Structure 1
């Protein structure tokens, strides 16, 4: 029998939880509709969703008319649904990750309430929202926040069975969540990192036992969830008459899973990358409490506290799992945060009384606020290095930085070191609200090529066909006219000759290309080129067909794809950008 948890009354808890939930919805949701998808990943998934809506091809994601085999389709389905419901990419593309972040918060708070009581549950929710990577990803339209929701649901189901069960229903729900997580992004099996410590505690009689029949049933449910998409996909790819679908099948099943983990071809980093380069900021400010948390965890290990040690062991194993792969991205650490908060939760009340921890919070706020204030002032007075960066990216954030820097200083004076964590928490709220409003307004024109592609359409005419060799997704997404591309994996050296041949077939066609790539071809008549300026740090040229009349074209150098997201919809019901 679990010990009685003393905490706030049920009425007080419901009031506190309602306030926390409303606060989280506002903080996570503010800014939706205020910006376009930004590189690197957001425009890609928005393209996937739009092409699903406009072509009706939901089983095999496409991007720019070309099959996109890098990720399974669940996140694209969710994006397509919210874009269809809102009728707008701008309104819809951020909703799946916002809801996933909110759902993750609900799961963490509810499990902490059941394990540790009402007061700790509220504190755990606040701790999760304070984590920098959690809030950043809840406001970013990448797959990883949805993956984190499913891995957290999987962990929730398994932990309900282990610590509060036995509960066969939650055990199977956990496995179902892992299955859906796998067809969201291949590493949906991360909750299985709970099993080693669980089995050890089960052997000692501290938690519900795991029977062989339970494992078989769990794997069966997981397999069924994967099969719901995987089996039709494999059948259509295997027995269809399109060889590109068979290539998609092999890529998504093998290259993007085992090979991507064991022999990654991108984002190559040393084994210590996460511990040194990612976790110090991703787990901030939770990481400030490690000097006190580590001895407390050791004490709980000696007394066999499964509530804390099972999720903590999963955090360690997930970090180790991703550290062993040569390919690494900081966002891979996001699924560790809910588990880390579960491990921290019963320690939080005691940690909040630590004077030195408040001093560390005070110091962190002084550092962050001081850097922003100093950088804002130096940028305002025109320090050359900062001015050069601002001109290059067409973003002048000096007023924003000075404002939130001054707010940090005011909070430091008001709350003083003995309330450093409170001051830091208030400032983080200010930062995320300003990031999602003022920050979006400052950055959107520079990170989204909406204005540039509108200018292109005004020059060429919105019915003129546009070639995009070595395309970036954000330009194809924002294109206002029929567009073609030449294969994402086709070498650039083959894309341009194919583009030349395509342009020479019709004088009314145009090409939109990176200036540093196009200038390698001396055959292009520079007098006819229109320099569109800088977008996302690169110069872009608009080139009419007549300007490449002397270029040697090669119609067989690579595939050509028509991007259906740019084609007009006769029904008038297509989502607008």
Structure 2
């Protein structure tokens, strides 16, 4: 009976033969480089290819799109203006990038969202780099798959808000610091990585103010208290780093304060101290406000939480076990997520986007945990998501029963179809993951599952256009543009419309209610009409003009003054103070 060949020896010979094959040599974390490139291309196409499919929503998307448009139009990149009024609630970095996007590619929806998409991708890429440095190349790839398919991260990267830009920059802060602290990093490289970290903090300060410095500082203090590793502070290059951060952040603050003396008090007292310590901004939330957001935002990977905890407890990635206090990257990532979560949970002002900076840290921990996850545990995760998808699919008809003052039931009925399709894709992704695990192993399974989740949540987001189109007012743009001439007043009577000014390329003049432009109207009172009587006088005796009103306000005022309807939808009416040719 012939002897069976020694399998181990055969495998070694096969590996040696493959090692001599140039095609086999091009591998990343054990995967063919071509496969990795194709997967990255597929993710990038979905990530960037969907930016312009939806119309902009208010308030954030329209607001920041219009601020950047006015910045580019006026050429003033220092004094931020919204509807031609001073607007000092936020620093300019996000608007700078958006205005640059307009300058390069024209004014449009995908150009307005390009900043957040790039920030999300930059945060993802830097998180992959840090995870690969500490936990291995495979963990780096897995970190990217986790973060790209985490609903909160990929959805936020397609909404034009400052929260995503800040979170992408903060992910770079964390990643640069982690790479700098690796024991294999040379002193020169450590210095350069830490200076990059400090520069990123400067950009964060230019994006949302002192929070860009406060959050990393809080995390470092928390880490020091837990580990008692004071030596870490000597490796942060603090003096040089502070200089770099100030060089990045201070010039704009100095210029804007010099041109606008009222800036400092409003920005630092009202927009920082009062926002955090009080409910002056009417953004209340319970102590557990962010709990469902983190759970839902990390839903496809919740089964990894036990493994993520083990990675922290077992000091994953620690290379120098002989040191009494080695740097612990998993603990740093965990404290980053926990400290930021607690910080915003205690705040008197809460919005969903505030919690976004925790997700890159969770992604890195999940990447480290996935490397150690067994096949049985991974199957449990896939089966759990199969159940979640099935429950969501069965519950999706409930969406068709919703109705509200802001969104008619007919729009919810249209969106219910998209919700069902999204949950069907969740189920299909889990099934594909189970099938691929049996035939091609865990990496193929995880990759397909992650891509399927990205498709599922992208589908849910794209389907929101059934609601968002009418909310944006885009169908009113053409008829208004036919009568609205350059320089003609466009009044917002008792309402601040956040999207039409962007689409019309024409700022609003506020009437009676300043809304969030109160500070601007106080600084430049000549640029608004504080009462309805002042509006009526301007409407009757002033130049030709167009006004936007709510249906209720239109019903009240049209009985007092002549108003010629230009266009209307279920939430706003556009009128002119002059007859319109061809109107009935």
1:55 to 66, 74, 78: 74
Contact 2:120-2:157 at 8 Å conserved across structures: yes
Match in the other structure for 1:552: none
Match in the other structure for 1:509: 545
Distance 1:139 1:511 in 2: 31
Which secondary structure state, in structure 2, belongs to the residue aligned with residue 163 of structure 1?
coil
Contact 1:120-1:349 at 8 Å conserved across structures: yes
Match in the other structure for 2:256: 233
Structure 2: runs of 5 or more not aligned: 1-18, 438-444, 523-527, 580-584
- TM-superposed deviation, 1:177: 0.8
Match in the other structure for 1:214: 237
Distance 1:481 1:89 in 2: 14
Distance 1:433 1:98 in 2: 13
Match in the other structure for 2:125: 106
Deviates more, 1:260-269 or 1:414-423: 414-423
Distance 2:147 2:386 in 1: 18
Distance 2:233 2:265 in 1: 35
Residue 495 (structure 2) pairs with residue 479 (structure 1):
no
Residue 361 (structure 2) pairs with residue 326 (structure 1):
no
What is the TM-score of this pair, normalised by structure 2? 0.78
1:61-109 Cα distance to aligned partner (Å, 9 max, x none): 1111111111000100000000111113224111111111111111011
1:155 to 174, 177, 200: 174
Contact 2:151-2:296 at 8 Å conserved across structures: yes
- TM-superposed deviation, 1:494: 3.7
Structure 1 residues 222 and 32: CA distance shift in structure 2, 3 A: same
Structure 1: runs of 5 or more not aligned: 1-7, 238-244, 548-577
Distance 1:417 1:280 in 2: 26
The aligned runs of 1:247-262 (5 Å cut-off) are: 247-262=262-277
1:428 to 447, 453, 457: 453
- TM-superposed deviation, 1:376: 4.8
Contact 1:453-1:480 at 8 Å conserved across structures: no
2:368 to 323, 346, 363: 346
Distance 1:320 1:169 in 2: 31
Deviates more, 1:417-426 or 1:142-151: 417-426
Which secondary structure state, in structure 1, belongs to the residue aligned with residue 90 of structure 2?
coil
1:399-453 Cα distance to aligned partner (Å, 9 max, x none): 434444444555566655996977753531332453465x265345223212113
1:124-175 Cα distance to aligned partner (Å, 9 max, x none): 1111112111101111111122212221221122222223445111112111
Deviates more, 1:368-377 or 1:78-87: 368-377
Residue 288 (structure 2) pairs with residue 272 (structure 1):
yes
Contact 1:358-1:417 at 8 Å conserved across structures: no
Deviates more, 1:249-258 or 1:183-192: 249-258
Question: How many residues end up aligned between the 2 structures?
Answer: 520
Measured on the aligned residues, the alpha-carbon RMSD in Å equals 3.6
- TM-superposed deviation, 1:328: 0.8
Match in the other structure for 1:397: 415
Match in the other structure for 1:312: 334
Structure 1 residues 282 and 309: CA distance shift in structure 2, 3 A: same
Structure 1 residues 495 and 20: CA distance shift in structure 2, 3 A: farther
Contact 1:100-1:149 at 8 Å conserved across structures: yes
